[in-house]
């Protein structure tokens, strides 16, 4: 299927490349439309037939979006929720992956199968008891309620273990002979050597935490505790009352900005990580 890299591109290849670019633009079109719409003046948003590009660029929609809901609050909530979940998953997964890859102790392999097994249990099965549990603890509408159930990641343990296994065992042996503790070795040798893998997992964890929908929807009902993904619903309610789609599109761009930014910065690692593990995180 692939042409040899040594061959120069033929004109056929160039045509295919242009066609692929058009397909790519088509795929991204809904997001591009949202981006363009968000810069239109309100009356241009609802003209028929719809125009792709704004004739007059404005940031008015962003101001409207920002002021029409406690948007700053949603973002702060999302950052706290996402930051803590990501931190927890990365640190806890590093610890567990280290034990599975580099330490020997009875029961280790049984534990590993337990963790792998948990990957198979769908979220839907756990959500109802977890809501009861969290509300029972009085953690509804709190950050700990949003965060604590997601502090660990079986996927992360599995992925980081693969990375840790590729670090030569001799390094560990040498460090131990020199009198280093496992703890020291983990943080001073293993973690720095596995930066790429840990970085890739951090992005997965970040994206899936930030994009969470079901759990934040059912564990919060106080507007002040909603995350951005749930907050975006409030804009739709406004639209039904006749507010403007320009502001809604501005809101979707603001909500998506952190994930898009993370993606632009780390797209290579992210895509490679997906191709490697076959998982979305």
Partner 1 sequence: MTQRQKNRFLSTIEGYLYLAPTMIVLAIFVFLPVISSFSLSLNRQAPFGNKQRYVGSENYSKLLGEFAECFTAEVCGDYGYSLYVTIIFTLGTVPAGLALAVLLAVALSYPLRAMSPIHRMLIFVPVVISSAVAGVLFRWLYHPVVGYLNYWMTFVGLDGPDWLTTKRWALVAVILVSIWKNLGFNTIIALAGVQNIDNSYYDAAKVDGANVWQRFYNITLPLLSPTLFFLLIINIITSFQTFGEIDILTEGGPGKATTTLVYSIFDHAFKGTPQRGIASSEAYLLALMVIVMSFAQMWVLGRKVHYQ
Q: Which residues within the stretch 76-105 sit at the binding site for partner 1 (CB under 8 A)?
A: 91-93, 95-96, 98-100, 103-105
Q: How far is the CB of 16 from partner 1 (least distance, A)?
A: 5
**Does 49 interact with partner 1 (rule: CB under 8 A)?**
yes
Residue 252 Cβ vs partner 1, minimum distance, rounded to whole Å: 5
Cα separation, 50 vs 177, in Å, equals 72
Binding status of residue 195 toward partner 1 by CB under 8 A: no
DSSP code of residue 122: -
Closer of 108 and 195 to partner 1 (Cβ): 108
- Cβ 75 to partner 1 shortest distance, Å: 14
Mark residues 1-20: x for contact with partner 1 by CB under 8 A, - for none: xxxxx---x---xx-xx-xx
Where do runs of H (alpha helix) occur along the chain?
11-37, 42-45, 60-68, 71-102, 108-118, 123-136, 143-147, 154-165, 169-177, 182-185, 191-193, 195-210, 214-219, 228-240, 245-277
Cα distances from 253 to residues 16, 26, 260, in angstroms, run 31, 18, 9
Q: How far is the CB of 221 from partner 1 (least distance, A)?
A: 10
**Nearer to partner 1 (CB atom), residue 104 or residue 241:** 104
User: What residues between 173 and 192 interact with partner 1 by CB under 8 A?
Assistant: 182
From the CB of 191, what's the least distance to partner 1, in Å?
Answer: 13
DSSP string over 175-224: HHHTT--HHHHIIIIIHHHTHHHHHHHHHHHHHHHHT--HHHHHH--SGG
Which one, 128 or 174, has the nearer CB to partner 1? 128
Q: Does 209 bind partner 1 (CB under 8 A)?
A: no
264 near partner 1, judged by CB under 8 A: yes
Phi, then psi, of 224 in degrees rounded to 5? -65, -15
Decide: is 168 part of the binding site for partner 1 (CB under 8 A).
no
Q: Could you tell me if 197 and 159 are in contact, meaning their C-beta atoms sit under 8 angstroms apart?
A: yes
Residue 28 binds to partner 1 (criterion: CB under 8 A): yes
| 196 is a contact residue toward partner 1 (CB under 8 A) | no
User: Which of residues 41, 180, 217, 243 is near partner 1 by CB under 8 A?
Assistant: 217
SS3 of 89, please? helix
- Residue 171 CB, shortest distance to partner 1, in Å, is 18
Q: Which of 86, 248, 265, 269 touches partner 1 by CB under 8 A? A: 248
Angle between helices 228-240 and 245-277 (to 10 degrees): 150
Site string for partner 1, 106-125 (x = CB under 8 A): xxx--x--xx--x-xxxxxx
Number of residues in contact with partner 1 under rule CB under 8 A:
102
Closest CA to 238 of 227, 224, 249: 249
The dihedral sign for the CA sequence 201, 202, 204, 209 = positive
Contact call for residue 128 and partner 1 (CB under 8 A): yes
DSSP 74: H
């Amino acid at each position: 299927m692939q042409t040899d890299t040594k061959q120069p591109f033929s004109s056929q290849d160039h045509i295919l490349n242009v066609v692929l670019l058009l397909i790519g633009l088509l795929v991204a079109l809904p997001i591009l439309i949202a981006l363009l719409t968000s810069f239109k003046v309100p009356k241009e948003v609802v003209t028929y037939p719809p125009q792709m590009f704004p004739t007059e660029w404005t940031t008015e929609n962003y101001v409207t979006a920002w002021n029409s809901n406690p948007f700053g609050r949603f973002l702060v909530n999302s950052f706290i929720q996402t930051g803590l979940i990501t931190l927890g998953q990365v640190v806890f997964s590093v610890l567990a992956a280290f034990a599975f890859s580099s330490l020997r102790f009875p029961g280790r392999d049984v534990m590993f199968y337990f963790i792998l097994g948990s990957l198979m249990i769908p979220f839907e099965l756990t959500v109802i008891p977890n809501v009861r549990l969290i509300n029972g603890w009085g953690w509804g509408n709190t950050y700990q309620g949003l965060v604590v159930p997601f502090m660990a990641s079986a996927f992360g343990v599995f992925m980081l273990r693969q990375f840790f296994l590729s670090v030569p065992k001799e390094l560990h042996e040498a460090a131990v002979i020199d009198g280093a503790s496992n703890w020291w070795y983990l943080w001073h040798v293993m973690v720095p050597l596995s930066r790429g893998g840990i970085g890739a997992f951090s992005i997965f964890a970040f994206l899936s935490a930030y994009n969470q929908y079901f759990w934040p929807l059912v564990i919060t009902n106080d507007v002040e505790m909603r995350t951005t993904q749930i907050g975006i619903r409030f804009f739709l309610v406004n639209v039904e009352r006749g507010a403007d789609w320009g502001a809604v599109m501005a809101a979707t761009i603001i909500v998506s900005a952190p994930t898009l930014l993370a993606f632009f910065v780390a797209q290579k690692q992210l895509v490679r990580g997906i191709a490697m593990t076959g998982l979305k995180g």
